[in-house]
Amino acid sequence: MKLNFKFALVLILSSMITLSAFSQIVQPAKWKVEFSKKDVKVGETLEVLIKGDIIDTWHVYSNDFDPELGPIVATFNFEKNDSYELVGEVTPIKPHKQFDKVWEGEVSYFEKNAEFRQTIKALSENIKVSGSFDYQACSDVSGQCVTGEEDFDLVLGGEVVKAKVQQEIKQSTPDEDKKESKKGLWAIFIAAFVGGLIAIVTPCVFPMIPMTVSYFMHSGGGNKAKGRMNAFFYGFSIIAIYTIIGTILAVVMGPGFANFLSTHWIPNVLFFIIFVVFAFSFFGMFEITMPSWMVNKSVANEDKGGFLGSFFMAFTLVLVSFSCTGPIVGSILVASAGGQVLMPIIGMLGFSLAFALPFTLFAIFPGWLNNMPKSGGWLNSVKVVLGFLELALGLKFLSIADQTYHWGILDREVYLAIWIVIFTLMGFYLLGKIAFSHDSPVKFVSVPRLLLSIITFSFVVYMIPGMFGAPLKVLSGFTPPKSGLDFDLESLIVENAGSGVKHEKINSKYSDFLHLPHGLQGYFDMDEAKAASKAQNKPIFVDFTGHGCVNCREMESNVWSDSRVLKRLREDYVIVAMYVDDKKKLPKEEWIVSSFDGKTKKTLGKKNANYQIENYNVNAQPYYVLMDNEGQALHIPRSYDLDVDAFVKFLDEGIKNFKNGTSVEL
């Protein structure tokens, strides 16, 4: 999950935080290379094991997915000699697979531990294997991506010797990483809590509140304190029952099964069918109920009284309200299925807390019942509206399977068209223009119905431009990618946007295969950018990026696309994009020897990555630097942050400092 952070501190303090968080070398994984056997005879085979321990919140991409997709696949180079020969290719061991909406395809990656194996055949009693491998790692929490390079030398029976390995692991802002992980749990808790409140105003639940209050008013035998204690235990029992359900689900599933649920077509199609069934149930086509024997047995145990009676009354509530709460509970469990093990537990805790709260409070303060609205047809309207929402949300699961396996059923236009129809029908239902057989007639439109219909129709109007290429950023996590659009009007507008001045294409170095987003023109070589900066008297905007940097694409899509940012980048800056993962081989005269690790950098990407490390002591992307044509920084650099206003201010401060001849020390 990616979050939008708002800086609440003044510029100096926020700059200090940014500098401390990102101005360091990050090595997301520690690697060990070893043989699978201690002894081997000539002609026998053994394996070279390449194992990595990955720090929390990071993942390392594997080597078994399409290298043209976007992320950088792990690559391995074994130096040939007469002591061995390779057998087959390097094989990843049990990587996770997942459809990535940014790259629009299935990627393969490792979390916590990575392992690759290369089989070799012994041609000599003394085997020596030397080589290197490159990999890319990204963090969904900090928004950083890094590329790593490791060398190894192995001799049969010996230990791994790594030459000039990068600095020790420095996990940037570990406290912040933990906080960000907790935010995902808070998000599911709040969503589930809201779901619990919604469940209260359904026809299966709302009428039971007065019955519950009446029970506890008499359960203490006239003793109000005892009655309240029973009411407390009743609420606690509701929370315990639902939380136990979430705990069982988490234990049974585990992280590996959660990954299967979130990526494989079978569970996603099943979830889609479940949501459709839930929706039809809410529409009144049929009712989903628990077996009568289970309900009857629970009701029979209510008469035991005391805490035991309170527990069985809570259990009865859970069972008899299932036709209304089942779809909501199911939606929460499905939504949390692809996340951490804690998520189903937290989800059920949030739902049950909200669900139990009104019953408990009304049981303790029965006088509040006088202020409650009366039961009526409005309760069924709540169910029907939830049915429309279930139908729309269920479509997401079918979309995941469709995109992962390239069925071509739900491209962006079809998906949005269905959503537009669903929410249009929902708006007409709220206005009373559509009714189901079990609905009460709507003689007039109440103010709440009118407000909800306005919101619904406004949402429909918002979605319509998406049929023609509008990004629909609010729905970026739900809609299929734009690549399948037959007519992308937004891309045509962005590419031709500007201030009225025609921007001619810059024939810069490497521009034949490297490009900037949104039709921007710029450079891909620092020397050319500095020369242009001097000639045009403009500051330089340095974009340390990568082909496989998912958060770089997020920044370009959500921040660079803003009209204020585009205007400043077009008119006020010379842009240079420094791709740190590009594989273009450089001519020998352009090779450099790094002062950081002593290695010779022979590709464009490694040369750019080395420039970033040597000048800024940073190896993560995205990373943005503002400087003059002499290389002097005009502002504290920025990294991944989706706050558009802060990015605009960052650019404005750079322009101001450039005009004033002011630089900053890094």
317 and 392 assigned to the same domain: no
Q: Does pTM surpass 0.75?
A: no
Weakest mean pLDDT among 394-403, 415-424, 457-466:
394-403
Q: Judge contact between 157 and 36, C-beta under 8 A.
A: no
Q: Which residue has the higher pLDDT, 411 or 485?
A: 411
pLDDT at position 624, please? 96
Q: Judge contact between 238 and 355, C-beta under 8 A.
A: yes
Q: Which of 423, 456, 486 is the last residue of a domain?
A: 486
Taking each helix axis as running N to C, give the angle between helix 11-22 and helix 644-660, from 0 to 180 degrees, rounded to the nearest 10. 100
238 and 367 assigned to the same domain: yes
DSSP 426-491: HHHHHTTSS--TTPPP-SS--HHHHHHHHHHHHHHHHHGGGGGT---GGGTTTSPPGGG-S--HHH
Q: How confident is the model at residue 646 (pLDDT cuts 50, 70, 90)?
A: very high
438 and 553 assigned to the same domain: no
Burial 412-427 (b: 16+ CB within 10 A, else e): bbbbbbebbebbebbb
pLDDT at position 4, please? 39
Domain membership flag for residue 595: yes
Sign of the dihedral through C-alpha 573, 575, 576, 580:
positive
49 and 189 assigned to the same domain: no
pLDDT in tens, 602-642: 999 999 999 999 999 888 889 999 999 999 999 999 988 88
pLDDT at position 163, please? 36
CATH number for position 654: 3.40.30.10
Task: Tell me what the mean pLDDT of segment 586-607 comes to.
Answer: 90
pLDDT score of 7 more than 60: no
Q: Which of 354, 372, 390 is the last residue of a domain?
A: 372
Domain membership flag for residue 666: no
pLDDT in tens, 172-190: 444 545 554 555 677 778 8
Residue 356's CB is within 10 A of a number of other CB atoms, namely 24
Question: In terms of Cα–Cα distance, which of 564, 583, 562 is closest to 572?
Answer: 564
Q: Judge contact between 549 and 145, C-beta under 8 A.
A: yes
Rounded Cα distance, 449 and 436, in Å: 16
Strands (E), 36-82: 45-54, 58-61, 75-78
Question: What are residue 377's DSSP bridge partners?
Answer: none
pLDDT at position 466, please? 86
Amino acid at 633: A
Domain membership flag for residue 6: no
387 and 277 assigned to the same domain: no
Weakest mean pLDDT among 13-22, 355-364, 403-412, 597-606:
13-22
Domain membership flag for residue 494: no
Structure tokens at 381: 């309207």
pLDDT in tens, 204-255: 566 566 666 666 655 555 566 776 777 788 788 888 887 787 677 666 654 4
DSSP 154-172: EETTS--B-SSPPPPP--S
pLDDT in tens, 122-167: 998 888 999 999 999 988 776 688 888 888 988 875 444 333 333 3
User: Which H or E run contains 261?
Assistant: helix 224-263
pLDDT at position 26, please? 76
Which domain range does residue 98 map to?
28-169
Three-class SS state of 573: coil
Q: How confident is the model at residue 3 (pLDDT cuts 50, 70, 90)?
A: very low
pLDDT score of 52 more than 60: yes
Q: What's the total number of domains in the chain?
A: 4
338 and 437 assigned to the same domain: no
Domain membership flag for residue 145: yes
453 and 356 assigned to the same domain: no
pLDDT at position 12, please? 31
Weakest mean pLDDT among 51-65, 217-231, 291-305, 590-604:
291-305
Q: Which residue has the higher pLDDT, 32 or 398?
A: 32
165 and 225 assigned to the same domain: no
**Mean of pLDDT over the chain:** 77
- Residue 592 backbone class (left: φ over 0; alpha: ψ -120 to 50; beta: rest): beta
Q: Which residue has the higher pLDDT, 373 or 79?
A: 79
Domain membership flag for residue 14: no
Task: Tell me what the mean pLDDT of segment 17-31 comes to.
Answer: 62
User: Which H or E run contains 349?
Assistant: helix 342-364
541 and 650 assigned to the same domain: yes
Three-class SS state of 386: helix
Which residues fall within 8 angstroms of residue 539, CB to CB, at 6 or more apart?
533, 572, 573, 574, 626, 627, 628, 634, 654, 655, 658
pLDDT score of 58 more than 80: yes
313 and 337 assigned to the same domain: yes
Q: How many residues would you count in the chain?
A: 666
pLDDT at position 166, please? 38
pLDDT at position 298, please? 52
pLDDT at position 259, please? 47
211 and 268 assigned to the same domain: yes
pLDDT at position 461, please? 95
Q: How confident is the model at residue 306 (pLDDT cuts 50, 70, 90)?
A: low
Three-class SS state of 141: coil
Three-class SS state of 428: helix
Domain membership flag for residue 5: no
Task: Tell me what the mean pLDDT of segment 422-444 comes to.
Answer: 88
Question: In terms of Cα–Cα distance, which of 408, 389, 383, 388 is closest to 398?
Answer: 408
Question: In terms of Cα–Cα distance, which of 220, 202, 229 is closest to 317?
Answer: 202
Rounded Cα distance, 157 and 39, in Å: 7
Q: What percent of the chain has pLDDT over 90?
A: 27
* Pairing mode of beta strands 105-111, 75-78: unpaired
Q: How confident is the model at residue 293 (pLDDT cuts 50, 70, 90)?
A: low
Weakest mean pLDDT among 196-205, 365-374, 543-552, 602-611:
365-374
Weakest mean pLDDT among 464-473, 494-503, 559-568:
494-503
Domain membership flag for residue 108: yes
Q: Judge contact between 208 and 363, C-beta under 8 A.
A: no
533 — phi, psi (to 5°)? -60, -40
647 and 508 assigned to the same domain: yes
Sign of the dihedral through C-alpha 297, 299, 302, 304:
negative
